Amino acid sequence: MRNTAIVLFFLICNTVSKAQNFDLGKVTVKELEEKEHPTEKDAEAAVLFNIGKTFFEYSGDNGFQIVTEVITKIKIYKKEGYEYANYSENYYVGGNGQEKVFFSKATTYNLVNGKIEKTKLDNQGEFIEKTNKFWSTKKITMPNVREGSIIEFKVRITSPYISNFREWEFQSGIPVNFSEYTTYIPEYFVYNSHFKGFLIPTVTKDYKTRNISYTYTEDVIPGMNTSMPERIKTNIEFREDMVKYSLTNVKPLKREAFVNNLDNYRASIVHEIAGTRFPNKPYVNFSTDWESVTQNIYKDESFGDELKKTGYFENDIDAVLQGINTDLEKVAAILNFIKKQVKWNDFNGVYCRDGVKTAYKNKTGNVAEINLMLTAMLRYAGLEANPVLVSTRSNGIPLFPSLSAFNYVIAAVEFQDGFVLLDATDANSNINILPTRVLNWEGRLIRKDGTSTFARLIPPFVSKESTLGLVTIEPDGVVNGKIRATHFDYNAYQFRNRYLNLSKESYLESLEKKYTNIEIDDYVLNNDKDLYKPVIEEYSFKHNGLTEIIGDKMYISPLLYYVISENPFKLEKRDYPIDFVYPAEDKYIITLNIPEGYVVESLPKPQVFALNNNQLTYNFSIQATGSKIQLNVVLNINQSFITPNHYEEITNFFKNVVENQSDKIVLKKS
* pLDDT tens digits, one per residue of 495-518: 999 998 899 999 999 999 999 999
* pLDDT tens digits, one per residue of 439-450: 999 999 999 888
Q: How far apart are CA 656 and CA 654, in angstroms?
A: 5
Q: How confident is the model at residue 221 (pLDDT cuts 50, 70, 90)?
A: low
Residue pair 654/564 in contact by the 8 Å Cβ criterion: yes
* pLDDT tens digits, one per residue of 150-175: 999 999 999 999 988 999 999 999 99
Query: Would you say the C-alpha torsion 495, 500, 504, 509 has a positive or negative sign?
Result: negative
Residue 17 covered by a domain:
no
Domain boundary among 439, 456, 473: 456
Q: How far apart are CA 376 and CA 334, in angstroms?
A: 11
- How many percent of the chain have pLDDT more than 70? 95
pLDDT at residue number 220: 56
Mean pLDDT of the chain: 93
* pLDDT tens digits, one per residue of 439-482: 999 999 999 888 899 999 999 999 999 999 999 999 999 999 99
Q: How far apart are CA 564 and CA 580, in angstroms?
A: 16
pLDDT at residue number 19: 46
Residue pair 54/34 in contact by the 8 Å Cβ criterion: no
The verdict on 473 and 383 lying in the same domain is no
Q: For helices 367-380 and 327-341, give the axis angle rounded to 10 degrees.
A: 150
CATH code for position 261: 2.60.40.3140
Q: How confident is the model at residue 12 (pLDDT cuts 50, 70, 90)?
A: very low
pLDDT at residue number 227: 59
The verdict on 553 and 620 lying in the same domain is yes
Domain span at 34: 24-208+241-276
**Residue 474: partners with Cβ closer than 8 Å, 6 or more residues away:** 480, 595
Enter the pTM of the model.
0.88
The verdict on 72 and 183 lying in the same domain is yes
The verdict on 405 and 485 lying in the same domain is no
**Residue 591: partners with Cβ closer than 8 Å, 6 or more residues away:** 469, 470, 471, 628, 629, 630, 631
Query: Is residue 257 predicted with pLDDT exceeding 60?
Result: yes
Question: End-to-end alpha-carbon separation of the chain, Å?
Answer: 92
The verdict on 328 and 306 lying in the same domain is yes
Q: How far apart are CA 48 and CA 32, in angstroms?
A: 12
The verdict on 510 and 469 lying in the same domain is yes
The verdict on 498 and 372 lying in the same domain is no
The verdict on 601 and 473 lying in the same domain is yes
Residue 262 covered by a domain:
yes
Query: Is residue 558 predicted with pLDDT exceeding 90?
Result: yes
Specify the pairing of strand 176-186 against strand 45-59.
parallel
Domain boundary among 413, 435, 456: 456
Q: How confident is the model at residue 287 (pLDDT cuts 50, 70, 90)?
A: low
Q: How far apart are CA 42 and CA 174, in angstroms?
A: 10
Q: How far apart are CA 272 and CA 250, in angstroms?
A: 25
* pLDDT tens digits, one per residue of 562-607: 999 999 999 999 999 999 999 999 999 999 999 999 999 999 999 9
The verdict on 478 and 446 lying in the same domain is no
Residue pair 405/443 in contact by the 8 Å Cβ criterion: no
Determine the distance from the C-alpha atom of residue 221 to the mean position of all C-alpha atoms in its chain, rounded to a whole number.
53
The verdict on 104 and 158 lying in the same domain is yes
**Residue 477: partners with Cβ closer than 8 Å, 6 or more residues away:** 544, 546, 547, 548, 549, 554
Amino acid at 313: F
Residue 4 covered by a domain:
no
Query: Is residue 327 predicted with pLDDT exceeding 50?
Result: yes
* pLDDT tens digits, one per residue of 491-501: 999 999 999 88
**Residue 196, burial from CB neighbour count under 10 angstroms (0-12, 13-18, 19+):** buried
Residue pair 109/116 in contact by the 8 Å Cβ criterion: yes
Determine the distance from the C-alpha atom of residue 164 to the mean position of all C-alpha atoms in its chain, rounded to a whole number.
20
Question: Rg of the chain over CA atoms, in angstroms?
Answer: 31
Q: Tell me the mean pLDDT in the region 96-116.
A: 95
Residue 16 covered by a domain:
no
Q: How confident is the model at residue 7 (pLDDT cuts 50, 70, 90)?
A: very low
Q: How many C-beta atoms surround the C-beta of residue 401 within 10 A?
A: 18
Query: Is residue 212 predicted with pLDDT exceeding 90?
Result: no
pLDDT at residue number 219: 60
Looking at the 3D structure of the chain, how many domains does it have?
A: 3
Query: Is residue 536 predicted with pLDDT exceeding 60?
Result: yes
Residue pair 383/327 in contact by the 8 Å Cβ criterion: yes
* pLDDT tens digits, one per residue of 380-435: 999 999 999 999 999 998 878 887 889 999 999 999 999 999 999 999 999 999 99
Amino acid at 647: Y
3 state DSSP class of 372: helix
Integer CA distances (angstroms), 387 to 120, 217, 222, 303, 423, in order: 52, 46, 48, 10, 10
Q: Tell me the mean pLDDT in the region 242-253.
A: 97
Query: Is residue 2 predicted with pLDDT exceeding 50?
Result: no
DSSP string of 157-199, one letter each residue? EEES-TT-PPPEE---SS-EEEEEEEEEEETTEEEEEEEESS-
Domain boundary among 422, 456, 490: 456
Q: How many C-beta atoms surround the C-beta of residue 209 within 10 A?
A: 9
Of 464, 458, 359, 444, give the one whose Cα is nearest residue 402: 444
* pLDDT tens digits, one per residue of 25-78: 999 999 999 999 999 999 999 999 999 999 999 987 788 999 999 999 999 999
